[in-house]
């Protein structure tokens, strides 16, 4: 088997580890960019929306068609809301840790604003990278080719994460060893979450797999929305309010459509004209992409 075949046909934890290490090189590139060039972030920077697009595409293309064939229509929005709620709680926990970190440092130093910015960047960058890692792990479980494309996109997203936090660390006059230690921690969070997602997908049985994937899809959908909001909004509180409104509205709308679908089945109304081509009886979804490569 050639090297090309090995890369594009192998699904294993070592393969996911290799792709995660490749994507984490974006952190190194971003750090060198800030230290040597000193380029600051621009409002027109499109890397954050690009990262959100990677997250959303993974949830929509790799997860949704599969779970629609195995999970009840009413359960999908509930599980999506559960995953999105888990991401919101993760962000809230990050905000709490950020506040504790900043308060502790203010007692030792006078650079209150700089330390607060460093705390924001550090904690929320870890949250972002956990979402990116879950994306890569799920993509690797679905398709090797999709995982390679996703890893390339996340490498560029990691450049922005590293630039953002590196510029604030330099502004706060942090030591080079502190910056290196933080980058190592960010890389470990990213690689660890990718391996965890891949392991979870391949560890559950065929009955529980669609439910797990739906929850993870909701988490990634919330991460994608937050990334888009971060690119435009200025206040963190506004991000969470908008994110909660989106998640609740999404779940309610999906539940309404699920109820209408159940009602049409109960009264035997024809819905052939409303079906998506992929929902017609002639097309059957396969769970093979999510059952390959178990170790």
In a domain, residue 270? The reply is no
Interatomic CA distance for residues 33 and 250, integer angstroms: 39
For 5, residues 6+ apart whose C-beta sits below 8 A from its C-beta are none
Q: Residue 282 domain-assigned? A: no
The per-residue pLDDT for range 179-227, each reduced to its tens digit, is 777 788 888 888 999 998 888 888 877 778 888 888 888 887 777 777 7
How many domains is the chain built from? 1
Phi and psi of 72, rounded to 5°? -60, 145
Residue 155 belongs to some domain of the structure: yes
Backbone angles phi, psi at 113, to 5 degrees: -65, -40
**Does the residue 271 lie in any domain?**
no
pLDDT tens, position by position, 80-111: 888 888 888 887 777 777 666 655 555 555 55
Asked, for residue 43, whether it belongs to a domain, the answer is yes
Coil/strand/helix, residue 286? coil
Whole-angstrom distance between the N-terminal and C-terminal Cα of the chain? Answer: 19
Supply the mean pLDDT for the chain.
Answer: 70
- What is the C-alpha to C-alpha distance for residues 140 and 137, in angstroms, rounded to an integer? 5
Summarize the confidence of residues 1-16 as an average pLDDT: 57
The answer to the question of residue 283 being in a domain is: no
Owning domain of residue 106: 3-265
Q: Is residue 286 part of a domain?
A: no
Give the whole-number percent of the chain exceeding pLDDT 70: 58
Are 220 and 55 within 8 A, CB to CB? yes
Q: Does a structural domain hold residue 47?
A: yes
């Amino acid at each position: 088997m050639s090297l090309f075949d090995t890369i594009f046909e192998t699904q294993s934890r070592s393969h996911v580890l290799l792709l995660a290490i490749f994507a984490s090189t974006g952190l190194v590139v971003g750090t060198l960019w800030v230290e040597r060039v000193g380029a600051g972030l621009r409002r027109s920077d499109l890397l954050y929306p690009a990262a959100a697009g990677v997250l959303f595409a993974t949830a929509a293309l790799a997860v949704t068609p599969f779970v629609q064939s195995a999970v009840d229509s009413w359960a999908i929005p509930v599980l999506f809301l559960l995953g999105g709620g888990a991401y919101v709680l993760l962000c809230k926990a990050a905000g709490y840790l950020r506040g504790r970190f900043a308060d502790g440092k203010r007692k030792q130093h006078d650079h209150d604003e700089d330390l607060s910015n460093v705390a924001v960047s550090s904690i929320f960058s870890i949250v972002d990278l956990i979402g990116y890692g879950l994306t890569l792990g799920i993509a690797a479980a679905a398709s090797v080719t999709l995982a390679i494309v996703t890893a390339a996109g996340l490498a560029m997203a990691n450049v922005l994460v590293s630039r953002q936090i590196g510029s604030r660390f330099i502004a706060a006059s942090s030591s080079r060893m502190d910056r290196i230690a933080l980058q190592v921690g960010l890389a470990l969070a990213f690689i660890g979450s990718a391996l965890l997602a891949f392991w979870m997908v391949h560890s559950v049985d065929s009955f529980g797999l669609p439910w797990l994937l739906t929850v993870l899809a909701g988490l990634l959908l919330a991460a994608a929305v937050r990334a888009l909001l971060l690119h435009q909004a200025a206040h963190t509180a506004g991000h969470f309010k908008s994110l909660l409104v989106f998640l609740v509205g999404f779940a309610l709308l999906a539940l309404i459509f699920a109820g209408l679908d159940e009602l049409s089945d109960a009264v035997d109304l024809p819905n052939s004209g409303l079906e998506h081509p992929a929902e017609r009886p002639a097309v059957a979804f396969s769970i093979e992409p999510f059952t390959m490569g178990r170790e």
